Protein backbone atom coordinates (compact mmCIF):
# COMPACT_ATOMS: atom_id res chain seq x y z
CA UNK A 1 0.00 0.00 0.00
CA UNK A 2 0.97 3.64 -0.42
CA UNK A 3 -0.49 6.88 0.92
CA UNK A 4 -0.08 10.54 0.12
CA UNK A 5 -2.11 13.32 1.71
CA UNK A 6 -1.83 17.10 1.67
CA UNK A 7 -3.65 19.81 3.60
CA UNK A 8 -3.98 22.54 0.99
CA UNK A 9 -4.25 25.58 3.34
CA UNK A 10 -1.05 24.75 5.27
CA UNK A 11 0.89 22.53 2.88
CA UNK A 12 1.26 19.82 5.52
CA UNK A 13 1.82 16.38 4.03
CA UNK A 14 1.69 12.69 4.90
CA UNK A 15 3.68 10.30 2.72
CA UNK A 16 4.03 6.53 3.16
CA UNK A 17 5.69 4.78 0.19
CA UNK A 18 4.23 7.71 -1.74
CA UNK A 19 6.76 7.41 -4.57
CA UNK A 20 6.42 3.65 -5.04
CA UNK A 21 4.97 2.61 -8.45
CA UNK A 22 1.41 1.33 -8.09
CA UNK A 23 -1.23 -0.23 -10.32
CA UNK A 24 -3.76 2.53 -10.98
CA UNK A 25 -6.60 0.40 -12.26
CA UNK A 26 -9.47 2.84 -12.94
CA UNK A 27 -7.82 5.78 -11.18
CA UNK A 28 -5.99 6.34 -14.48
CA UNK A 29 -9.31 7.55 -15.89
CA UNK A 30 -8.67 10.92 -14.20
CA UNK A 31 -6.00 12.07 -16.69
CA UNK A 32 -8.16 10.71 -19.54
CA UNK A 33 -10.91 13.02 -18.28
CA UNK A 34 -8.48 15.94 -18.14
CA UNK A 35 -7.38 15.38 -21.74
CA UNK A 36 -10.99 15.19 -22.90
CA UNK A 37 -11.76 18.53 -21.25
CA UNK A 38 -8.68 20.09 -22.83
CA UNK A 39 -9.66 18.80 -26.27
CA UNK A 40 -13.19 20.12 -25.84
CA UNK A 41 -11.81 23.55 -24.92
CA UNK A 42 -9.44 23.63 -27.90
CA UNK A 43 -12.13 22.55 -30.36
CA UNK A 44 -10.43 19.29 -31.27
CA UNK A 45 -13.40 17.47 -29.76
CA UNK A 46 -16.97 18.58 -29.04
CA UNK A 47 -18.64 17.45 -25.83
CA UNK A 48 -21.99 17.82 -27.60
CA UNK A 49 -21.12 15.36 -30.38
CA UNK A 50 -22.91 12.03 -30.19
CA UNK A 51 -21.18 8.66 -30.45
CA UNK A 52 -23.01 5.48 -31.41
CA UNK A 53 -22.10 2.50 -29.22
CA UNK A 54 -21.85 -0.63 -31.35
CA UNK A 55 -21.49 -4.31 -30.37
CA UNK A 56 -17.69 -4.14 -30.60
CA UNK A 57 -17.54 -1.19 -28.19
CA UNK A 58 -19.04 -3.06 -25.22
CA UNK A 59 -16.76 -3.81 -22.25
CA UNK A 60 -17.19 -5.92 -19.11
CA UNK A 61 -16.23 -4.86 -15.61
CA UNK A 62 -17.64 -1.69 -14.10
CA UNK A 63 -20.31 0.46 -15.69
CA UNK A 64 -23.90 0.27 -16.86
CA UNK A 65 -23.63 0.75 -20.62
CA UNK A 66 -22.86 -2.97 -21.05
CA UNK A 67 -26.39 -3.76 -19.82
CA UNK A 68 -28.04 -1.92 -22.72
CA UNK A 69 -28.58 -3.09 -26.27
CA UNK A 70 -26.04 -1.74 -28.79
CA UNK A 71 -27.12 1.47 -30.50
CA UNK A 72 -27.04 3.97 -27.64
CA UNK A 73 -26.07 7.42 -28.89
CA UNK A 74 -24.70 9.45 -25.94
CA UNK A 75 -22.80 12.72 -26.15
CA UNK A 76 -19.08 12.76 -25.49
CA UNK A 77 -19.79 14.66 -22.26
CA UNK A 78 -22.05 11.79 -21.15
CA UNK A 79 -19.33 9.25 -21.97
CA UNK A 80 -16.77 11.19 -19.92
CA UNK A 81 -19.29 11.46 -17.09
CA UNK A 82 -19.96 7.71 -17.05
CA UNK A 83 -16.23 6.99 -17.25
CA UNK A 84 -15.88 8.84 -13.94
CA UNK A 85 -19.07 8.43 -11.90
CA UNK A 86 -19.72 4.74 -12.66
CA UNK A 87 -16.19 3.96 -13.92
CA UNK A 88 -17.85 2.65 -17.08
CA UNK A 89 -15.34 0.70 -19.14
CA UNK A 90 -17.30 0.95 -22.39
CA UNK A 91 -17.34 4.73 -22.03
CA UNK A 92 -13.68 4.72 -21.03
CA UNK A 93 -12.43 2.97 -24.14
CA UNK A 94 -14.55 5.22 -26.36
CA UNK A 95 -13.09 8.32 -24.68
CA UNK A 96 -9.55 6.92 -24.95
CA UNK A 97 -10.15 6.33 -28.66
CA UNK A 98 -11.41 9.90 -29.06
CA UNK A 99 -8.54 11.63 -27.26
CA UNK A 100 -5.77 9.14 -28.11
CA UNK A 101 -3.88 7.01 -25.60
CA UNK A 102 -0.52 8.50 -26.57
CA UNK A 103 -1.88 12.02 -26.20
CA UNK A 104 -2.94 11.28 -22.61
CA UNK A 105 0.62 10.21 -21.86
CA UNK A 106 2.04 13.24 -23.66
CA UNK A 107 -0.05 15.44 -21.36
CA UNK A 108 1.27 13.64 -18.30
CA UNK A 109 4.85 13.93 -19.53
CA UNK A 110 4.50 17.63 -20.30
CA UNK A 111 3.15 18.33 -16.81
CA UNK A 112 6.03 16.53 -15.13
CA UNK A 113 4.26 13.32 -14.14
CA UNK A 114 7.12 10.99 -14.99
CA UNK A 115 5.71 7.97 -13.13
CA UNK A 116 2.09 8.17 -14.33
CA UNK A 117 1.09 6.52 -17.59
CA UNK A 118 -1.97 5.02 -19.27
CA UNK A 119 -0.71 1.69 -20.58
CA UNK A 120 -3.72 0.05 -22.21
CA UNK A 121 -7.43 0.18 -22.88
CA UNK A 122 -9.78 -1.80 -20.66
CA UNK A 123 -10.54 -4.05 -23.62
CA UNK A 124 -6.85 -4.87 -23.96
CA UNK A 125 -6.64 -5.53 -20.22
CA UNK A 126 -9.54 -7.99 -20.26
CA UNK A 127 -8.11 -9.76 -23.31
CA UNK A 128 -4.86 -10.28 -21.40
CA UNK A 129 -6.82 -12.01 -18.63
CA UNK A 130 -7.90 -14.60 -21.20
CA UNK A 131 -4.38 -14.85 -22.63
CA UNK A 132 -3.23 -16.04 -19.20
CA UNK A 133 -5.62 -18.96 -19.61
CA UNK A 134 -4.54 -19.71 -23.19
CA UNK A 135 -2.04 -17.70 -25.30
CA UNK A 136 -4.18 -18.32 -28.39
CA UNK A 137 -6.81 -16.07 -26.83
CA UNK A 138 -4.69 -13.12 -27.96
CA UNK A 139 -6.64 -13.43 -31.21
CA UNK A 140 -10.00 -12.84 -29.51
CA UNK A 141 -11.92 -9.87 -30.87
CA UNK A 142 -13.29 -7.20 -28.53
CA UNK A 143 -16.77 -8.67 -28.94
CA UNK A 144 -15.53 -12.19 -28.18
CA UNK A 145 -13.83 -10.93 -25.02
CA UNK A 146 -17.05 -9.20 -23.99
CA UNK A 147 -19.21 -12.26 -24.61
CA UNK A 148 -16.75 -14.53 -22.76
CA UNK A 149 -16.85 -12.44 -19.58
CA UNK A 150 -14.12 -13.49 -17.16
CA UNK A 151 -12.49 -16.90 -16.57
CA UNK A 152 -14.03 -18.81 -13.66
CA UNK A 153 -12.00 -22.02 -13.62
CA UNK A 154 -10.34 -23.30 -10.43
CA UNK A 155 -7.04 -21.51 -11.10
CA UNK A 156 -8.55 -18.19 -12.21
CA UNK A 157 -8.15 -16.45 -8.84
CA UNK A 158 -4.49 -17.50 -8.57
CA UNK A 159 -3.75 -16.24 -12.09
CA UNK A 160 -5.58 -13.01 -11.35
CA UNK A 161 -3.45 -12.30 -8.28
CA UNK A 162 -0.24 -12.79 -10.26
CA UNK A 163 -1.64 -10.76 -13.16
CA UNK A 164 -2.51 -7.76 -10.97
CA UNK A 165 0.99 -7.78 -9.51
CA UNK A 166 2.75 -7.89 -12.89
CA UNK A 167 3.53 -4.29 -13.85
CA UNK A 168 3.67 -5.20 -17.54
CA UNK A 169 -0.05 -6.04 -17.35
CA UNK A 170 -1.27 -2.92 -15.58
CA UNK A 171 -3.97 -0.69 -17.04
CA UNK A 172 -1.92 2.24 -15.81
CA UNK A 173 0.86 3.09 -13.41
CA UNK A 174 1.35 5.97 -10.98
CA UNK A 175 2.48 6.88 -7.49
CA UNK A 176 0.31 8.10 -4.64
CA UNK A 177 2.15 11.44 -4.68
CA UNK A 178 1.81 12.02 -8.42
CA UNK A 179 -1.90 11.25 -8.45
CA UNK A 180 -2.36 13.55 -5.47
CA UNK A 181 -0.44 16.27 -7.30
CA UNK A 182 -2.66 15.77 -10.36
CA UNK A 183 -5.75 16.35 -8.23
CA UNK A 184 -4.16 19.49 -6.78
CA UNK A 185 -3.55 20.82 -10.30
CA UNK A 186 -7.20 20.20 -11.17
CA UNK A 187 -8.25 21.97 -7.96
CA UNK A 188 -6.04 24.96 -8.78
CA UNK A 189 -7.28 25.15 -12.40
CA UNK A 190 -3.77 24.56 -13.72
CA UNK A 191 -4.80 22.01 -16.37
CA UNK A 192 -7.93 23.74 -17.67
CA UNK A 193 -9.78 27.01 -17.13
CA UNK A 194 -11.77 27.59 -13.94
CA UNK A 195 -15.12 26.59 -15.45
CA UNK A 196 -13.81 23.29 -16.85
CA UNK A 197 -11.87 22.56 -13.66
CA UNK A 198 -15.00 23.13 -11.58
CA UNK A 199 -16.93 20.77 -13.86
CA UNK A 200 -14.27 18.08 -13.45
CA UNK A 201 -14.44 18.40 -9.66
CA UNK A 202 -18.25 18.29 -9.79
CA UNK A 203 -18.02 15.14 -11.90
CA UNK A 204 -15.67 13.50 -9.39
CA UNK A 205 -18.05 14.49 -6.59
CA UNK A 206 -20.87 12.55 -8.31
CA UNK A 207 -18.89 9.30 -7.96
CA UNK A 208 -21.29 6.39 -7.37
CA UNK A 209 -18.85 4.25 -5.36
CA UNK A 210 -18.62 5.67 -1.84
CA UNK A 211 -17.45 2.71 0.24
CA UNK A 212 -13.83 3.88 0.64
CA UNK A 213 -12.68 7.46 1.28
CA UNK A 214 -16.25 8.83 1.67
CA UNK A 215 -17.49 5.88 3.73
CA UNK A 216 -17.52 7.74 7.05
CA UNK A 217 -16.89 11.41 6.29
CA UNK A 218 -19.78 11.80 3.84
CA UNK A 219 -22.10 11.39 6.83
CA UNK A 220 -20.23 14.22 8.58
CA UNK A 221 -20.80 16.97 6.04
CA UNK A 222 -17.65 16.33 4.02
CA UNK A 223 -17.89 16.47 0.23
CA UNK A 224 -15.52 14.09 -1.56
CA UNK A 225 -14.46 14.49 -5.20
CA UNK A 226 -12.79 11.18 -5.93
CA UNK A 227 -12.08 8.25 -8.24
CA UNK A 228 -11.75 4.62 -7.29
CA UNK A 229 -9.78 1.82 -8.92
CA UNK A 230 -10.64 -1.84 -8.38
CA UNK A 231 -9.68 -5.44 -8.88
CA UNK A 232 -11.50 -7.04 -5.92
CA UNK A 233 -10.38 -8.58 -3.69
CA UNK A 234 -6.78 -7.97 -4.80
CA UNK A 235 -6.66 -4.21 -5.27
CA UNK A 236 -8.69 -1.28 -4.00
CA UNK A 237 -7.57 2.30 -4.66
CA UNK A 238 -9.18 5.67 -4.02
CA UNK A 239 -7.89 9.20 -4.60
CA UNK A 240 -9.80 12.35 -3.87
CA UNK A 241 -10.22 15.88 -2.60
CA UNK A 242 -11.97 16.27 0.76
CA UNK A 243 -13.92 19.52 1.05
CA UNK A 244 -14.72 20.57 4.63
CA UNK A 245 -14.40 23.49 7.02
CA UNK A 246 -10.65 23.88 7.51
CA UNK A 247 -9.83 22.05 4.28
CA UNK A 248 -9.60 21.06 1.55
CA UNK A 249 -7.26 18.10 1.80
CA UNK A 250 -6.07 15.71 -0.88
CA UNK A 251 -5.87 11.99 -0.12
CA UNK A 252 -4.35 9.37 -2.42
CA UNK A 253 -4.38 5.73 -1.29
CA UNK A 254 -3.35 2.67 -3.31
CA UNK A 255 -3.56 -0.94 -2.19
CA UNK A 256 -2.28 -3.62 -4.58
CA UNK A 257 -1.80 -7.32 -3.81
CA UNK A 258 -4.27 -7.34 -0.92
CA UNK A 259 -4.47 -10.69 0.89
CA UNK A 260 -6.86 -9.63 3.63
CA UNK A 261 -10.59 -9.04 3.77
CA UNK A 262 -11.71 -6.58 1.08
CA UNK A 263 -14.34 -5.03 3.33
CA UNK A 264 -11.60 -4.30 5.88
CA UNK A 265 -9.56 -2.66 3.12
CA UNK A 266 -12.45 -0.35 2.26
CA UNK A 267 -13.14 0.40 5.92
CA UNK A 268 -9.49 1.33 6.43
CA UNK A 269 -9.64 3.90 3.64
CA UNK A 270 -12.72 5.36 5.27
CA UNK A 271 -10.87 5.67 8.58
CA UNK A 272 -7.90 7.31 6.87
CA UNK A 273 -10.15 10.01 5.42
CA UNK A 274 -11.86 10.54 8.77
CA UNK A 275 -8.54 10.84 10.61
CA UNK A 276 -7.27 13.39 8.10
CA UNK A 277 -10.37 15.55 8.44
CA UNK A 278 -10.14 15.43 12.24
CA UNK A 279 -6.41 16.24 12.28
CA UNK A 280 -6.43 18.96 9.63
CA UNK A 281 -9.35 21.18 10.57
Number of domains the chain contains: 1
Q: From first to last of its 281 residues, what are the pLDDT tens digits of the chain?
A: 999 999 999 999 999 999 999 999 999 999 999 999 999 999 999 999 999 999 999 999 999 999 999 999 999 999 999 999 999 999 999 999 999 999 999 999 999 999 999 999 999 999 999 998 899 999 999 999 999 999 888 788 888 887 788 888 899 999 999 999 999 999 999 999 999 999 999 999 999 999 999 999 999 999 999 999 999 999 999 999 999 999 999 999 999 999 999 999 999 999 999 999 999 99
Q: Range of 122's domain? A: 2-279
CATH assignment of the domain containing 196:
3.40.710.10
Rounded CA separation 129/108 (Å): 27
- pLDDT for the residue 167: 84
Note if the pTM is more than 0.75: yes
Amino acid sequence: SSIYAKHIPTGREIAVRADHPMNTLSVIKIPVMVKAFQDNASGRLDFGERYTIGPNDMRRGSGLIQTFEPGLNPTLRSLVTQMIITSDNTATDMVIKAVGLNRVNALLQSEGFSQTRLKATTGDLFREVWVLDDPENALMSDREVFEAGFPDDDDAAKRSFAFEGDSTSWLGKTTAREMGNLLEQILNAELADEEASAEMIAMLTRQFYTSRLPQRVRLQGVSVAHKTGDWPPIAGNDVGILFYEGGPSIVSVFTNQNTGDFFDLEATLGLIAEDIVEAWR
